[in-house]
Amino acid sequence: MPPFLLVLGVAQDGGHPQPGCTRPCCATPGPRHLQASLALVDPDTRQRWILDATPALPEQLARLDDAAPGTLDGILLTHAHMGHYTGLLWLGREVMATHGLPLYVLPRLATFLRTNGPWSQLVSLGNVTLQVGAAAQLGPRLRARALQVPHRDEYSETVAWHIQGPTRSALYLPDIDAWESWDLRLEDVLAGVDAAWIDGTFWADGELGRDMAEVPHPRIRDTLARLAALPASERQKVRFTHLNHTNPVLDPTSPEARAVVAAGMSVAWEGERFEL
């Protein structure tokens, strides 16, 4: 069987509904969405990797166990913001007590984890080993490459992960400040993969009811316009993920979600599989 990616979560760092939110987006009963994460599975070897360690890691690992039992062979981290690395706490001696679990990181994030508690205890007790570098051979049929992206890098650099399987490849890019700030063109990166989970945090300006310049992200509406001239075969690669609780595309019946589909792209959904 070919290796595959499995979507474990699609929400921004706070999940959906988000704690403390009393707006209709969270107060109205509806589906729950976990923080953005993918799993990478090789059924032949029963190896599994997680892309980002979210606060919902226990539930996401349970979903992964149901879908594809096996060993946990590593975690690929994108950056040190709440929704992407705080799930590492579950690896410590108080809970999972992992032994030498590889964490694939770039240098600034490695330094942050080594020198700040409680993460440093994971390193000193050997619960994790830091695999520092932009390229990783994950198994006999899978490899990964980190692409740095511009984001609010208070504690670490931010990366997207390019995953290469035996016949197909994929991109996981949950956070970026703006496509225009990247030293790569989104269109060129899309051309080099078969599927891409990209930053869809917000639909449009004005969504938060406060200054959105404090949390820069591309707006889905603008990304749709940017990619509109691409061939349908390129546009269909795009799945929007890392969706804020205010983002109307979380409701698949909303006009905004229908606009994404009409543009030839899609909104990521938990449980989706993509064979590599």
Q: Which domains does the chain have, with CATH numbers?
A: 4-275 (3.60.15.10)
Residue 212 has pLDDT above 80, yes or no: no
pLDDT at 220: 97
Confidence of residue 209 (pLDDT cuts 50, 70, 90): confident
Residue 254 has pLDDT above 80, yes or no: yes
**DSSP state letters, 75-95:** EE---SSHHHHGGGGGGSTTT
Helix ranges (H only) for the chain are 24-27, 57-67, 82-85, 107-115, 119-124, 186-191, 220-227, 232-235, 255-262
Pairing of strands 169-173, 101-105: unpaired
Nearest of 192, 193, 190, 207 to residue 244 by alpha carbon: 207
Strand partners, 108: none
What is the percent of the chain where pLDDT is above 70?
100
Residue 272 CB neighbour total at 10 angstroms: 17
pTM (two decimals): 0.96
Rounded average pLDDT over 205-225: 87
- Mean residue pLDDT across the chain: 96
Confidence of residue 51 (pLDDT cuts 50, 70, 90): very high
Asked if residues 83 and 55 have their Cβ atoms less than 8 Å apart, the reply is yes
| Token digits of residue 28 | 């109205």
Residues 61 and 29: their CA atoms lie apart, in Å, by 25
Residue 252 CB neighbour total at 10 angstroms: 12
Residues 136 and 47: their CA atoms lie apart, in Å, by 15
Nearest of 153, 152, 149, 151 to residue 161 by alpha carbon: 149
Q: Residues 71-87: pLDDT tens digits? A: 999 999 999 999 999 99
Residue 192 has pLDDT above 80, yes or no: yes
- Strands ordered across the beta sheet of 37-42: 128-132, 101-105, 71-76, 47-51, 37-42, 4-9, 273-275
Asked if residues 244 and 35 have their Cβ atoms less than 8 Å apart, the reply is no
